[in-house]
């Protein structure tokens, strides 16, 4: 029945070749126009698993205490002394510049020059206070000395002022939507504006350091422009290797053009569907191109075999289509379903990458399984082309005869035992893979990047960075004037302060203790929480809600935890302490809820990825197994195809653990994409292998004949894709370099698994059936 359908489809397509070519050209122009409208779509909330418990807390309190999308601009005097007229003038102007950047929440800008940064002190007449930098400030020696004293009284050393008084920070939070335009804030533009600020104020006397999510996205987006150069390089490398295989300019051009059309259709379709392209998903179109080249080489290989057999161009193209339409369609369908399963991860950016990958693979069905054979039917071959093919096939035949020995019983048994050992190795070391970031700084950027150098400088000179975890302490109304509530929060802060990875903590009880001591001339013995409620009222009444340490009725008191970094182990260690404390000390009167702040977002994301990684791989393999069973109607064939994929996946995890590449939003889809490449190899090889077995050949003969045609395509494809992605290792973006290394490994090992392990498994499984 399937054969009859394929014959009808073949007849219909090749009877309307000119019309189909015109249709493809028209559609390419339409999608090409859509491609011109594609834009970079970077949004903070896209990275949030909004259904996670932590993010429920985040959303609930975001308006009251701010979100997690912060930027820090640090100005540092190169001579180590910030108290100069020139430095304070630069800080004032930089504060104004940050204040007026579109997308900045102006109510949450903090700097020495903003009115929300104040000091309080106890004087003879009671409590006195004011702005740290007074309105009538003059940068005279007396004025600078006054500001120094106000800084010491305000308790902002380490937060807004460097511990060594070498610099000061401007802190700002970003909003998701511009209230004036109603459109999403362009984080790339925000990052570019911050870079302009650096250009304006950095000189031989002042260093400027900028960190924050918007700056990360901007740096990645700017780096992605150079990524295009690596795509062009890999494109030409791919073209060269395909040409060396085909020895035909026309066939090479057709393969590359059809693969490019698939990418154009993918990106154009994304634009028409209202999607942009996220900087973290910039590699997906490159992977689609790689998959398209893989299927294109298989079609070219089958076509070349028919030409070698004496067929003309049209007949060779028709037979190639008939032979590969089913296995190619099944392989691409399994890829598509596998990528769709990634959408089960409840993080918008991953779901968008899944949509992009699924669209791309779906377009390959049309461009490489329909358009390519039709175009090949128009290609004429020189008189000596068959002779050149004959010489090349004879050379390769000796190599394939040796490789096909793997289908004999004893070589197959040895290889299977070796792979059992590799399974054990992969399982042992693959289990060591970590979730989230494993290094300080931003792992998507090179360690020597300006952003990571800025992050290191701020961490070294200040007690805070952009990495903050807010734990929300929920209690009864007026809980801030009840001793037992405040004492429980204070003990909680003490526990966390003594946790490795915590840099500093700001909490309402901590500030209240400082004020209480201030009432007693700063005596350290009075730096305690007063048990008397009236005295406690005096200790907290001067702390405004704008501090972010309490709400209007004192029923919510966030505890701000500044971490030394955002590595996965640091985040896990801190959140475990919070959970343990809540389990032991939480009650109806007080509850500690995780979490807001950017570290809270990372904690939720890490837990979501950790919970999803195993189910996602199960779903991907379930889709592959189901389609293989439906196609080959054989459990043995399914096992022979999927077992090598499982081995490669385990080894990929082991490689990631060895390279210290964490499993996170940007890397999780790549593992599934790598499996998609592997299943293509396996289905193509087993389909032809099964066809030769049905002709009555022995296992060895069938595999030898398979290698002469499909094996050549797999070898060329694996080598070509590996060399192409290997160029990514030199990318300015660390995550592209990591993915280049990982994909190079997966392309090569998937190729070896399909060429060696698949026939070894098939050999023994078929022999067991015959017994």
Token reading at 35: 């491609």
624-631 CB contacts, 8 Å cutoff, 24+ apart: 624/334, 624/338, 624/675, 624/679, 627/330, 627/333, 627/334, 627/337, 628/330, 628/334, 628/683, 631/326, 631/327, 631/330, 631/683, 631/687
CA dist., res. 654 & res. 571, Å (int): 23
Q: What is the pLDDT of residues 54-77, one digit of tens each?
A: 888 888 887 777 666 788 899 999
Query: CA nearest 363: which of 699, 587, 27?
Result: 27
Average pLDDT, the chain: 83
What is the per-residue pLDDT across 454-504, written as a single tens digit (0 to 9) for each?
888 888 888 765 678 889 999 998 888 888 989 999 999 999 989 988 888
Burial class of 622 by CB neighbour count within 10 A (0 to 12, 13 to 18, 19+): middle
The two tokens of residue 311 are 């067929």
DSSP secondary structure of 64-123: HH--S-EEEEEEEETTS---SHHHHHHHHHHHHHHHTSTTEEEEEEE-TTSTT-EEEEEE
Rounded-to-integer distance, Cα 178 and Cα 558, Å = 27
Cα–Cα distance for residue pair 100/727, rounded to 1 Å:
41
CA separation for the pair 183, 164 (Å, rounded): 41
Below-70 pLDDT ranges, the chain:
1-2, 42-44, 66-68, 122-128, 179, 224-225, 382-390, 392-393, 464-466, 521-522, 669-674, 676-677, 767-771
Q: How do residues 423-445 score in pLDDT, each as one tens digit?
A: 999 888 888 888 877 777 777 78
471, 58 contact by CB (below 8 A): no
């Amino acid at each position: 029945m399937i054969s009859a359908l394929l014959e009808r489809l073949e007849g219909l397509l090749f009877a309307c070749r000119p019309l189909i070519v015109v249709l493809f050209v028209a559609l390419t122009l339409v999608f090409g126009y859509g491609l011109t409208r594609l834009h970079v779509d970077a949004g903070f909330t896209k990275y949030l698993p909004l259904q996670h418990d932590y993010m429920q807390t985040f959303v609930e309190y975001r308006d009251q205490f701010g979100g997690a999308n912060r930027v820090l601009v640090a100005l540092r005097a190169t001579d180590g002394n910030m108290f100069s007229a020139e430095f304070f003038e630069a800080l004032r102007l930089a504060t104004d510049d940050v204040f007026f950047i579109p997308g900045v929440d102006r109510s949450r800008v903090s700097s020495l020059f903003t009115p929300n940064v104040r000091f309080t002190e106890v004087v003879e007449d009671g409590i006195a206070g004011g702005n740290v930098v007074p309105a009538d400030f003059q940068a005279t020696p007396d004025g600078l000395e006054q500001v120094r004293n106000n800084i010491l009284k305000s308790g902002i050393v380490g937060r807004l002022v460097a511990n060594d008084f070498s610099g000061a920070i401007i802190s700002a939070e970003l909003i998701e939507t511009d209230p004036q335009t109603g459109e999403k804030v362009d984080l790339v533009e925000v990052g570019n504006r911050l870079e302009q600020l650096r250009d304006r104020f950095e000189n031989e006397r002042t260093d400027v350091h900028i960190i924050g999510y918007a700056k990360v996205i901007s740096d990645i987006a700017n780096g992605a422009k150079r990524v295009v150069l690596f795509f062009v390089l890999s494109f030409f490398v791919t073209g060269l290797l395909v040409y060396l295989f085909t020895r035909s300019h026309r066939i090479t051009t057709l393969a590359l053009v059809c693969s490019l059309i698939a990418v154009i259709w993918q990106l154009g379709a994304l634009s028409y569907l209202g999607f942009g392209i996220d900087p973290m998903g910039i590699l997906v179109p490159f992977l689609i191109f790689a998959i398209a080249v893989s299927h294109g080489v298989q079609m070219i290989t089958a076509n070349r075999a028919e030409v070698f057999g004496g067929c003309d161009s049209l007949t060779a193209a028709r037979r190639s289509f008939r032979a590969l339409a089913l296995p190619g369609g099944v392989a691409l369908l399994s890829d598509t379903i596998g990528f769709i399963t990634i959408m089960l991860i409840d993080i918008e950016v991953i779901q968008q990458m899944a949509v992009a990958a699924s669209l791309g693979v779906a377009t390959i069905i049309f461009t490489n399984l329909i358009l390519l054979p039709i175009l090949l039917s128009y290609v004429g071959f020189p008189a000596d082309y068959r002779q050149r093919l004959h010489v090349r096939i004879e050379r390769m035949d000796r190599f394939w005869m040796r490789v096909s020995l793997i289908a004999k019983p004893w070589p197959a048994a040895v290889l299977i035992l070796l792979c059992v050992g590799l399974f054990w190795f992969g399982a042992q070391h693959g289990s060591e893979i970590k979730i989230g970031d494993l290094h300080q700084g931003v792992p998507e950027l090179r360690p020597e990047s300006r952003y990571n150098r800025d992050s290191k400088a701020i961490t070294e000179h200040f007690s805070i960075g952009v990495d903050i975890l807010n734990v929300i302490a929920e209690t009864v109304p007026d809980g801030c004037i009840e001793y037992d509530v405040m004492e429980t929060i204070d003990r909680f802060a003490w526990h966390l302060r003594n946790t490795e990875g915590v840099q500093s903590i700001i909490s309402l009880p901590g500030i209240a203790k400082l004020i209480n001591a201030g009432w007693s001339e700063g005596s350290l013995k009075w730096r305690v929480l007063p048990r008397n409620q009236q005295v406690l009222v005096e200790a907290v009444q001067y702390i405004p809600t704008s501090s972010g340490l309490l709400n209007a009725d004192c029923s919510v008191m966030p505890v701000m935890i500044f971490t030394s970094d955002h590595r996965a182990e640091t985040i896990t260690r801190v959140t475990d302490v919070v959970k343990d404390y809540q389990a032991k000390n939480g009650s109806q009167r007080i509850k500690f809820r995780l979490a807001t702040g950017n570290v809270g977002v990372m904690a939720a994301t890490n837990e979501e990825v950790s919970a999803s990684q195993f189910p996602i791989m199960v779903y991907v393999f379930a889709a592959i197994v189901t389609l293989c069973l439906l196609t080959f109607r054989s459990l043995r064939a399914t096992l022979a195809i999927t077992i090598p994929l499982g081995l490669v996946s385990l080894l990929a995890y082991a490689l990631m653990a060895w390279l210290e590449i964490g499993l996170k939003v940007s890397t999780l889809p790549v593992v599934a994409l790598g499996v998609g490449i592997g299943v293509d190899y396996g289905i193509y090889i087993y389909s032809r292998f099964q066809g030769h077995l049905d002709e009555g050949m022995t296992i060895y003969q069938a595999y030898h004949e398979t290698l002469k045609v499909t094996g050549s395509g797999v070898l060329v494809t694996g080598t070509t894709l590996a060399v192409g992605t290997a160029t990514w290792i030199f990318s300015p973006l660390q995550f592209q370099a990591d993915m280049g290394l990982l994909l190079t490994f997966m392309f090569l090992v998937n190729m070896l698994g399909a060429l060696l392990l698949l026939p070894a498994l098939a050999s023994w499984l078929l022999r067991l059936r015959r017994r």
